[in-house]
Amino acid sequence: MYPHSDVVFNDSGGIINGVGRQDSRPADPQPPSSYLTAECDDDGCYDVVCVGFGPASLAVAIAMHDAMAGGRQLVNNGSPRVLFIEKQVGFAWHAGMLLPGAKMQISFVKDLATLRDPRSRFTFLNYLHCHGRLVDFTNLGTFLPARVEYEDYLRWCASHFDHLVRFGKEAVAVEPVAGAGADAEPVRSFAVIARDVVTGQTHTYRGRNVLLATGGQPSVPSSLPLSHPRIVHSSAYGHRIHHMLPKTAAAYRIAVVGAGQSAAEIFHNLPARYPNARTWLVMRPEFLRPSDDSPFVNSVFNPEYIDCLFPKSARDRSSLLAGARATNYGVVRLSLIEELYERMYDQKRRLGADETQWPHRILGGRRIARLESPRADSLTLKLRRVGHGADRAQNGRREGVSEEEAEEGEEEEEEETLEVDVIVAATGYQRNAHVQLLRAAWDMLPEAHSPRKTGTDGWTVETDGGARTLAVGRDYGIKFRAGTVASDAGVWLQGCCEGTHGLSDTLFPKSYHHRDIIDRLHSFAMSPASRLLRSTASAFSRITFPRHSHTAMLATAAKPPPQKRAVAGSFIFRFPPHGQPPQVALFRRSTNVKTYRHCYAPISGSVEADDADALATAWRELAEETGLGPRELRLLRQGKPYSFVDEAVGREWTINPFAFALRSDGPGEAAIKLDGEHESFAWFDPAEVPDDDTDNGAFRGVPHLLDSLRRVWFELELGPDAAALLHDGLCRLRDDHTSGARQLSVIALDAFTRILPALYRPARGSATRWWRSLRIVAWHLWKNGREAMGSSTLRLLLDAMTLIEARLPLSIATANLPEDGFIDAIVDDLQAVSQQRRKPDAALQDAFVSFIRHQQASRAEPSSPIRIVTLGSSATVMSCLDHAFAQSLALDIHVLESRPLFEGVSMARNIAASIPTAGQPPGTSVSVHTDASVALAAHGAHILLLGADLVDAHGNVSNKTGSLPAVLAARHVAPTVKIVVVADNGKILPMDPPSAPEHDDPFQVSRVWPDDGREAARKGNVKLSNVYFEWVPAGLIDCYITESGITTKEEIAVSAREARARASHFFDDL
């Protein structure tokens, strides 16, 4: 978690969003707090800049909001200028450890607000009320909500302050702006230097006060390098384990290292996730120890205890804290210990006393002697049993005893060997990121007169001027030398002052590792933040908010925020014959419009509340302003939406760009009929459209005109060769109506691989430009190929970009692309991925066969065939059925013909060909039914089998049209039928699904009519609709089968959020 709060890494080391939430519903967006502003003052300075936007910083924002809402005046006039900088791309709270069934370990009353102000809108009870679950929650009869629900509560709170946060920015330094020392003016502000986690660009944010709430970094023994692909820290367990170990039915070998709550929870979770795995919990203590949450001991978390602790000497504080460590360090909740003990007892009852035969073992009193990695896919752990030294090592940090010193007194026995596939290091955190962040301010610290025990009463740093002490006062402010920092400025710490302020410092509201103490979310009044904020009465006594210009302040305070407006902007293209270059039509806005009169623009209009989506807006505006519709135009491309603020008109625009092409069989530009919003239009070569920022005499464009055009006409950015290859790839995807989603993803990856070398020359060696262009290609292949089947394409391209990102220079902002075989090596890797993707998914096949066997075994007549109804020509369904027949399973298959292309007939033919001619089980058969007879076909069915093209985050399934009537009919005539969906994880859609249905050629319908029905259709007497896909609601589906086995809706939601975070990582800055 470095260097901001609760940061999680993806497999390539990149930042991902908090995606371990298992709630299928995202936090509702909330109106922003009107009491706080993210605008800096006239000098470009903020009142407070907070580094990190985890729960601790969120508590700061809430307390400031509540204070203002209650009538407190935190500044002389107006609102505090506050900015939060967060490395993650969105708010998340320990997403990697939101395990199924996990509950909070503290009362919901200790939320972010209740104990400070029960009337706050940010209480947990008000969250429940706003979501219509308050009464239902009270019926649970518990004070302990599910951990995923509490995380949703935090997200809901955070959504009120999104406008104050710069997500995706990693703070790399905090520097004093003015000089320091007796001869210099005191520092009046600090500069926070932040790096964009995607582009690598740096940004500077200046604040009079800086709050560092950077969270913890994974801490692991030197024997367990996190850089190893087979070692994962517990903080990333929920995100990475299924990528490291993708087959849930495999007999994996997994070691968990640690003795605290996280280690125990993961050890408890693994058998449910991997039922055939062997697992070990390796720990130094001989036994798991229960946490002490008795009321007297828990008083160490009371806010008043800090007043008792802080004035004491370092030795006394250390002694007092040592006596309370059993509340959270190296201990486990008693209920979980009892569950684990029961599991060990059950193994002994079933398998005997020889523990080596048990699949799940707790290896207490062991330490890791060394780690060997004989193969890339496995590890060898060498363990030694320890004696009385184990306890000393366990408490080494608090007693100042090194690990090596502790080991000197250990009575070592013989070495043990564990062969494992993965090691999960649940080994805690270190909290010293702030020390290096403040390196530029070390010279402003007081001299160190004696060495300090790190964290107990400060940190000792070495400078050219000698040793210095980094320590904090009772108010959490760093103690700088007298005169170096102005009285209205300062730097404040949160989450790293346990040695001086007690256990509550790191426990609110951050780390829960070593024990489930992360669930001890104290209210804001109990947190370090409250000390910081007690300054409009007490919390802001040192943090003050001067205004350099009262007049300027009033002007800023009176200035209304820009109005937000989402618009659809549509460019119309024509493609002249004989190889002439394409042209784009730009329309000159008339005096009848309010903004940008006489400027060239695309056809545009606001996205209204009743518009299905921005594309629907685009079609509506085209019809209103040009008279053109689907008969005259076809959708060519959509561009990635983006936003900008135009101060001149007081608007924040969100632009959704589209490109349309005049149909070659239509009337062309003669059909364009302008309304009053435009006075004329003209055709331009896209390459000659100037930037709107240039002064081009006769040409005046609306703001960001060229930016919008580039987003749909990628030829301007990619270069001719790469653009031509991308265009060909998109055409192949768009025109392919026979391949399934998996096959289309391979086509997209192959196009991506062909384009990759073609981008090298236009990038002119720049790693940044090449990487950006490559991500643009991936975005278009996903969105402008066949989006209705695009989830598999998106996921495969995300995997490809993850692979490439790992090969890029660490700092691509200033680096050139490597030349020696760099592109060739990537192409080879991607071609290998493509070949692997072409093969059937063996794990999915095995999972399906396992499900069928279970269904047979549970029936009264296991030998009789399973009756299955299906439709369409899903390659996934065909692969699963083919594998089932190869296992000699008795299946009675009924296939709907699936008009208008009769894919079901082809499916039945292929199924019949896959049935073994010899040794065929009795009752095995294949039948074809008309679509209209689905109710007859489903009579007596055991399973209705769907091969999903998309599965959204809620479990709704998009499949061949006719799927929903088949489901409804089957449920009516066969009440016990199971609606089963088979789909690989790649089809779980991370984004919102396309709102507009995909239509195919209407002639596919009319061609089977007498005389083809062409005459009636041509005359317009019959309107034809040939919708390709439809959605089956999740509530109608009984079972999802993926390569991971039986998959729950909660797991689908988690998978979708993980992929969404990866997509955000690669695409958000484009």
On whether the CB atoms of residues 398 and 321 are closer than 8 A, the answer is: yes
Give the list of residues 6+ apart from residue 335 with CB closer than 8 angstroms, or none. none
pLDDT exceeds 50 at position 11: no
pLDDT over 60 (residue 803)? yes
Mean pLDDT of 69-98: 79
The pLDDT of 370-397, averaged and rounded, is 67
619: its two tokens: 């079609």
- Distance between CA atoms of residues 642 and 475, nearest Å: 42
Q: Is the same domain home to 398 and 336? A: yes
Rounded mean pLDDT, 115-120 = 88
pLDDT in tens, 290-307: 887 777 776 677 666 676
Q: Report pLDDT digits (tens) over 1001-1017.
A: 676 677 677 665 556 55
The helix or strand, by DSSP H or E, that contains position 1016, with its residue range, turns out to be: helix 1014-1018
Band of pLDDT at residue 753, cut at 50, 70 and 90: very high
Sequence-separated (6 or more) residues with CB below 8 Å from residue 333: 105, 261, 264, 290, 291, 515, 516
Whether 888 and 952 map to the same domain: the answer is yes
Report, as an integer, the average pLDDT of 868-874.
Answer: 90
Give pLDDT tens digits for 197-210: 777 788 899 998 99
Q: How confident is the model at residue 76 (pLDDT cuts 50, 70, 90)?
A: low
Most confident of the following: 15-19, 48-52, 107-111 = 48-52
Q: Is the pLDDT of residue 388 over 50?
A: no
Q: At what angle do helices 720-735 and 741-758 cross, to 10 degrees?
A: 170
Q: Which residue has the higher pLDDT, 713 or 921?
A: 713
- The answer to whether residue 1052 sits within a structural domain is yes
Q: 410 and 520 share a domain?
A: no
Q: Tell me what pLDDT residue 778 has.
A: 96
Question: Percent of the chain having pLDDT more than 70?
Answer: 80
Structure confidence at residue 568 (pLDDT): 95
- Burial category of 888 from C-beta neighbours within 10 Å (exposed 0-12, middle 13-18, buried 19 and up): exposed
Clarify whether residues 396 and 438 are in a common domain: no
pLDDT exceeds 80 at position 321: no
Amino acid 77: pLDDT: 66
What is the CATH classification number for the domain harbouring 645? 3.90.79.10
Strand, coil or helix: what is 588? strand
The DSSP symbol for 355 reads G
pLDDT tens sequence across 497-522: 776 766 666 554 433 333 332 233 33
Quote the pLDDT of residue 153: 92
- Per residue in 689-710, pLDDT (tens digit) is 987 544 455 678 888 899 999 9
Q: How many whole angstroms separate alpha carbon 888 and alpha carbon 919? A: 8
* Report field, pTM of the whole predicted structure over 0.75: no
pLDDT tens-digit series, residues 419-446 = 999 999 998 888 778 888 888 888 888 8
Look at residues 602, 604, 605, 600 and name the one whose alpha carbon lies nearest to residue 590: 600
Q: How crowded is residue 184: how many other Cβ atoms within 10 Å of its Cβ?
A: 12
Q: What is the mean pLDDT of the chain?
A: 80
- The predicted model gives 583-596 an average pLDDT of 90
Q: Which domain holds residue 671?
A: 567-713
Tokens of 1047: 């998959």
Tokens (6 digits) for 765: 């060696």
Selected residue with higher pLDDT from 471 and 404: 471
User: Is residue 113 situated within a structural domain?
Assistant: no
The vertex-647 CA angle with 644 and 651, nearest 5°, equals 60
Asked if residues 1063 and 991 have their Cβ atoms less than 8 Å apart, the reply is: yes
Place of tokens 């692909």: 229
CATH of the domain at 466: 3.50.50.60
**C-alpha–C-alpha distance, residues 67 and 538, integer Å:** 12
pLDDT at 401: 39
Same domain (yes/no): 644, 773? no
Look at residue 439 and tell me if it is in a domain: yes
pLDDT at residue 796, rounded to an integer: 93
- Domain end among 837, 858, 881: 837
Asked if 68 and 158 sit in the same domain, the reply is: yes
* Closest listed residue to residue 969, CA positions, set 900, 896, 1018: 896
Last residue of a domain, one of 681, 713, 745: 713
In a domain, 995, yes or no: yes
| Residue 1059 pLDDT | 86
Q: Is the pLDDT of residue 451 over 90?
A: no
* Domain stops at, among 837, 865, 881: 837
In a domain, 26, yes or no: no
If asked whether residues 530 and 488 sit together in one domain, one would say yes
Q: How confident is the model at residue 394 (pLDDT cuts 50, 70, 90)?
A: very low
Is residue 396 very low, low, confident or very high in pLDDT (cuts 50, 70, 90)? Answer: very low
The enclosing H or E element of 195 equals strand 190-196
Q: Give mean pLDDT, residues 1053-1065.
A: 86
pLDDT, tens digit, 9 for 90 and up, residues 669-681: 999 999 889 999 9
Residues 813, 900, single domain; the answer is: no
Q: What is the CATH number of the domain that holds 993?
A: 3.40.50.10470
- Tell me what percent of the chain is helix, strand and coil, each rounded to the nearest 5: 35, 20, 40
| Residue 540 pLDDT greater than 50, yes or no | no
- pLDDT category at 543 given cuts 50, 70, 90 is very low
742 and 831 inside one domain: yes
> Tokens 């040592």 correspond to what residue?
322
Stretch 258-285: mean pLDDT: 93
Q: Average pLDDT of 598-620?
A: 91
Predicted confidence at residue 659, as pLDDT, reads: 97
DSSP 3-state of 869: strand
Ranges 465-474, 769-778, 852-861: which has the least confidence: 465-474
Residues 949, 793 contacting (CB under 8 angstroms)? no
pLDDT at 375: 63
**pLDDT, mean of residues 223-235:** 84
Establish if 212 belongs to a structural domain. yes
Domain assignment present for residue 115? The answer is: no
* Residue 755 pLDDT > 90: yes
How far, in Å, CA of 77 to CA of 375, rounded? 65
Q: Please tell me the predicted confidence (pLDDT) of residue 697.
A: 52
Highest mean pLDDT among 12-26, 473-487, 666-680: 666-680
Say yes or no: 44 and 83 in one domain: yes
The pLDDT assigned to 547 comes to 39
What percentage of the chain carries pLDDT values higher than 90? 34
- Confidence at residue 115, expressed as pLDDT on a 0 to 100 scale: 83
Give the CA diameter of the chain.
100
Question: Which pLDDT does position 457 carry in this prediction?
Answer: 59
Q: What total of structural domains would you count in the chain? A: 5
Q: Are residues 65 and 186 in the same domain?
A: yes
Cβ atoms within 10 Å of 97's Cβ, excluding its own: 26
Q: Which residue in 593, 634, 596 sits closest to 615, CA to CA?
A: 634
pLDDT, position 459: 75
Strand 466-470 relative to strand 459-463: parallel, antiparallel, unpaired? antiparallel
| Window from 1-15, 316-330, 370-384, 626-640 with minimum mean pLDDT | 1-15
Co-location of 511 and 547 in the same domain? yes
Confidence of residue 157 (pLDDT cuts 50, 70, 90): very high
Q: Is the pLDDT higher at 64 or at 388?
A: 64
Does pLDDT of 15 surpass 80?
no
Question: Does residue 1 form part of some domain?
Answer: no
Q: What is the pLDDT of residues 967-977, one digit of tens each?
A: 999 999 999 99
Contact 712, 656 (CB under 8 A): no
